[in-house]
Amino acid sequence: MHLIPNTIKLMIAALVLLSWATPVYSKAVNRTYPVIRVVDGDTISILYHGKPEKIRLLNVDTPESVHPDASRNSVMGKKASDYTRRRLSGQSVSLEFENRKRGKYGRLLAYVILGGENYNLELVREGWSPYYTKYGNSDVYHEQFTTAQHRAKIGRVNIWNPANRDLYETQASRKQVAVAGGLHGNVKSKIFHNPACRYYQCKNCTRSFSSRNAAVRAGYAPCKICKP
């Protein structure tokens, strides 16, 4: 007579533990929200539950186009912004969320679903953004993002096309290269440093880059100490 209650308790405990271990993910529902403004390639504003909300698209990072420091904006950033404007202006979209619903600037962090398709993935597939993993891999779409980026690189689409290098570089990155004389990348850690960094001449820092964007395109991450 005591086996059934104990079994139920064990099942409840197992379900609780499983819920703690499983990443929080919110699948898009049928509800859609009108896009009221495209800020740039990876940020839009929608009417969300009756009020305007900015959406920062998860796992993408298009080149800058509206940064307050104009030297950080680029022609390719403008092109990425124009692409998102053509695709999303006047549309209604659904949202999917992962672990964090809002970022440090208060914006909603989400996958934007347009016509049943993940628009974030589209940006990577069309070469407007790398698969951006600075804050972690996608819990649900990691394989799709990886495949999309691989194909965009092979196809040399947009930011991956060497012919677009001058469009992708910014005034700030060109100035940095002119003053500093280039960046060094650690071929093992895949981290790059500027000349003022204590790790600039490290044993494995044998790869040189002409700019920050060139290093990022090659799959290297900026040093958290020198912040190139």
Question: What residues act catalytically?
Answer: 56, 64, 107
Question: Where are the extended beta strands (E) located within 139-227?
Answer: 183-186, 191-193, 207-209, 221-222
| Single-letter residue type at 29 | V
Question: Where are the extended beta strands (E) located within 97-203?
Answer: 108-114, 117-118, 183-186, 191-193
Return d(Cα 220, Cα 228) in angstroms, integer: 12
Give every CB contact of residue 119 below 8 A, 6+ residues apart in sequence. Answer: 57, 87, 88, 93, 111, 112, 113
With tokens 């940020």, the residue in question is 43
Tokens of 144: 């799709």
Return d(Cα 203, Cα 190) in angstroms, integer: 13
Beta-ladder partners of 54: 45
Give every CB contact of residue 98 below 8 A, 6+ residues apart in sequence. Answer: 23, 24, 25, 26, 58, 109, 111, 138, 139, 140
